[in-house]
Amino acid sequence: MAGIERKCPKFIRFLFASMANYLSNADRPTEKIRCPVHGFIHYSKNERAFIDHPTFRRLRNVRQLALTCYVYPGAMHSRFEHSLGVMEMATRAFDALATKHEKAIAGELSKLPELQSDVLVRGRQVVRMLAMLHDVGHPAFSHAAESVLPLKDHEEVSIYVIKKVLGPMLDERFFPGMSDLLVRLMEKKPEVTFLRQFVVSEIDMDRTDYLRRDSLHCGVDYGHFDFHRLIEALTVIENPESKQVQIGLERGGEHIFEALILARYQMNTQVYLHRIRRIYDYYLTAYMKSWGKEHYLTTEDVLEYDDMDLLSLMKTESKADGPRSDLARRIVERNHHRMIFETGDSADVFTMRKTKNAFEKLKDEFQDVDLVIDVGDASIHKQIVSSDVKEDPNWDPLYVADRDGSSPKPIGAQSKILSTIPKTFTNVRVYASSATRNLSQVKAAMERQMAG
């Protein structure tokens, strides 16, 4: 063992330290669970207390992709397994960076009052809990219910959970101030940017996990990229403008980032914005807007329901006459509107306007047909590329640097591929449903309107 340590002293020193200096014996990773993406995920007895907590356990019955299983039958995976997967990936990223940049990371984290002692050990535990709890506030059917939440969005609900529900338990089992630090991370306070980047950033472990996990369960290859190489290519740099420490990529690692962005683009076009998934998202959103106004009166109410509860209610409502009966029947019986027109994935503002005008004329011409218009859009990346002619206010700068973190340069200035992948895209679709009319007539009329 001494021989190995002499060959790679820094790596071995940190590895042994990370395996030995846990906050307590209850923080040793003695528990494990099998994951179809990552193999075994190890966790501690203290972490298990949160995994088994009813508020987190609820995520077992909140599907990661809502009703995407109506298109891809295997997409039955949950926010629960995804959250554990993000914890595993964020830990691997933290450990990989700490072996290479122990001093820089310790220096950055020690600026936080909660991490003055046992800086790397506490910092690592914070990253794990942030990753585990980042989605704990998702309502039933996730994003379909965002518009009717008592708080702004699911992140606000997650903050509520960390602060009000799990706060005392976090501080008692780990260290004083853990819950407050997690809240600041969720609130995106500038002093915690570096820690937050492990879970939420352009190269975060959240999207790394869900791209891999979603593609696996959907049975598609679009989300595959070499995430092992991504973690190996991580480095720590000082932002040339803000002078803040942040996560970057070692030179040569830009190619794996390109692969990640391409995977994100393909998963959005082929899975997340699939025409049938989108129409069921439309039903879910409409249903939750109606139902949520009656039942999501407090944040505690949000935490009482999961997908299984709502699907059971829909089944009941589908058999009766009520304000949501038609929506419930369409969801329960999988009887959806049919798409009669789409713009494709690069609809510009003029195409969008023309499509919306044509839709309004179609409604006047076919008043006996139930018509729906859907605008699906997605953000793929937030890098400024060489073809940009103006500043991007949403820029999330990712830098490529030498192995030691020196000479950082924006990745968009170095990558030719990024400039060919759209940063955002929009697809406008029109759907129709009628029990009496042949929809080919409606489709032909819509096409004439767009051609005119």
Amino acid identity, residue 56? F
Amino acid identity, residue 351? T
Exposure on the CB side of residue 69, measured as CA atoms within 13 A: 16
Phi-psi region of 105 (alpha: psi -120 to 50; beta: other; left: phi over 0): alpha
Distance, CA of 92 to CA of 404 (rounded, Å): 19
- Going by C-beta distance under 8 Å and a sequence separation of 6 or more, which residues neighbour residue 307? 61, 62, 63, 66, 140, 141
Find out whether 284 and 425 touch, Cβ atoms under 8 Å: no
Find out whether 396 and 382 touch, Cβ atoms under 8 Å: yes
DSSP tag of 250: E
Distance, CA of 81 to CA of 159 (rounded, Å): 20
Q: Can you give the pLDDT at residue 6? A: 41
**SS3 of 265, please?**
helix
- Going by C-beta distance under 8 Å and a sequence separation of 6 or more, which residues neighbour residue 166? 50, 53, 55, 133, 179
DSSP tag of 153: S
Exposure on the CB side of residue 23, measured as CA atoms within 13 A: 24
Phi-psi region of 248 (alpha: psi -120 to 50; beta: other; left: phi over 0): beta
Find out whether 316 and 411 touch, Cβ atoms under 8 Å: no
Distance, CA of 191 to CA of 17 (rounded, Å): 26
Beta bridge partners of residue 410, listed in sequence order: 399
Tokens of 326: 């038609």
User: How distant, in Å, are the alpha carbons of 228, 251, 262, 325, 412 from that of 417?
Assistant: 21, 16, 9, 48, 9
Tokens of 12: 């071995």
- Going by C-beta distance under 8 Å and a sequence separation of 6 or more, which residues neighbour residue 331? 67, 280, 283, 284, 287, 311, 314, 318
**SS3 of 172, please?**
helix
Distance, CA of 304 to CA of 320 (rounded, Å): 24
Find out whether 425 and 269 touch, Cβ atoms under 8 Å: yes
H helix intervals, 101-187 = 102-109, 119-133, 154-160, 167-173, 178-186
pLDDT along the chain (452 residues), means of 10: 41 49 91 96 98 98 97 98 98 94 94 94 97 97 90 94 98 97 97 96 94 98 94 94 92 94 96 97 96 95 97 97 96 97 92 96 96 96 84 87 91 90 94 94 96 86
